[in-house]
Amino acid sequence: MIVPIKQAEDVSAHLFELGCAGVQEDNVDQGVCLIAYFEDHNNQTEVAQACDQLLSAFGIVSEVHIDPVPDEDWTTSWRDYFKPVYATPKMIICPAWAPEPAPEGGFAILIDPKMAFGTGHHETTRLALMGLEMCISGGERVLDVGTGSGILSIAAIKLGAASAFGVDTDPPAVDNTQNNLLLNGILEGVEVKEGSLSLVSGVFDVVVANIISSILVPMLPQIAAHTKQGGKVVLGGILDREQDAFRQAILSAGFVITQMLEDGEWVCAVGQKQ
C-alpha cells in the first residue's frame, strides 16, 4: 500500500495493532510504500479487508496487495514484537504466551493479538487505559465503543466496574474480544456485539471510545446520548494537531473536559457530561 509521507507513521502504528509482525517502509514518488508482514497465511481476505478499512479511515485511496512469502518460523519472529508493557504503574498488558506477575496492588491483562485493535503497544490504547483508571472507582456500567481486542472492557472489569458492553462493526474484533475475555477469566459481566451504536440502549456511567477522529467526532452526539448526566467519558485516538478542533467538538456535544492526556503525537480527553 502507498500512503502520504505525513501519514506513514500513523498507518504503520495501526498495522502493528492489527497484528502484523513488522512493517517495511520504502520511499516512492507517490509517498511511502508500506509492506506489512502478517503471520496467518490462511487469512489473506481478512487481512486485506482490515487494511482497506484502515486506509479508508485515514481517507487514503490506495490498493492493498497480498503476496505470500516463503515459509519461515514466522510465529517466533512475530511474537518477538509483542512484549509486556505497562499501561500504568498498576496495569501490565501481556501477550497470552508471555504472562507476567501483576504489579503490586494492580493486575495483568492477557491479550492474544489478532486482527483487532488493542494490544497495549500503541499510545492511544495506553492513554485510554490511563483514562479508564481515572474514571472507575467501582460499580460502574461501562460502554466500550469500538471494542477491538476487548482490552478496555477487560480493564474496566479489573478496575472494578460492575459491567461492560462493547460494540464493534468488525466481526473478527468480536471473536477476539470473546477469546481475550476467556484468557482473563472473565466469564460474566461483559457483553459484546457486532454492530454500531445503534445497538446500544440506555445510559452508562462511563463511555470509552478509542477511535480515529474522522470516525469518533461524528459519533460524539450519540456517545453523549448514552452517557448519564454527570457520567464520564474517555475519548482517544486523536492526533495532537487535531486537539483544538477535537476540544470544540467535545464541548459542543455537551461534555466538559477534565483532563487531556498526552503520549507522543496522541491525545486522549477525559470528560464529564454536563
The percentage of residues in the chain with a pLDDT greater than 90, rounded to a whole number, is: 56
pLDDT value at residue 253: 97
Does the pLDDT value for residue 254 go beyond 90? yes
pLDDT surpassing 50 at residue 256: yes
Measured CA distances, 206 to 99, 131, 138, 144, 187 (Å):
29, 10, 11, 9, 21
Average pLDDT for the chain:
89
pLDDT, position 43: 72
The stretch 57-85 carries a mean pLDDT of 73
What's the pLDDT tens digit per position in 100-137?
999 999 999 999 877 556 777 788 899 999 999 999 99
Contact of 167 with 147, CB cutoff 8 Å: yes
Mean of pLDDT values over 41-59: 83
Q: Confidence class of residue 20 from pLDDT cuts 50, 70 and 90?
A: confident
196 or 75, higher pLDDT? 196
Exposed (0-12), middle (13-18) or buried (19+): which is 68, by Cβ within 10 Å?
Answer: exposed
- Confidence band for 81, pLDDT divided at 50, 70 and 90: low
Using 50, 70 and 90 to split pLDDT, how confident is the model at 74?
very low
Residue 149 has pLDDT above 80, yes or no: yes
Q: Indicate if the pLDDT at residue 267 is higher than 90.
A: yes
Distinct helix (H) and strand (E) counts, the chain: 8, 13
Note the pLDDT tens digit of each residue in 167-211: 998 888 899 899 999 999 999 999 999 999 999 999 999 999 999
Q: What are phi and psi of 229, to 5 degrees?
A: -60, 125
Least Cα distance to 136 among 177, 94, 90, 101 occurs for 90
Supply the pLDDT for residue 42: 61
State the DSSP string of 74-89.
Answer: HHHHHHTT---EEEET
pLDDT-derived band at 41, boundaries 50, 70, 90: low
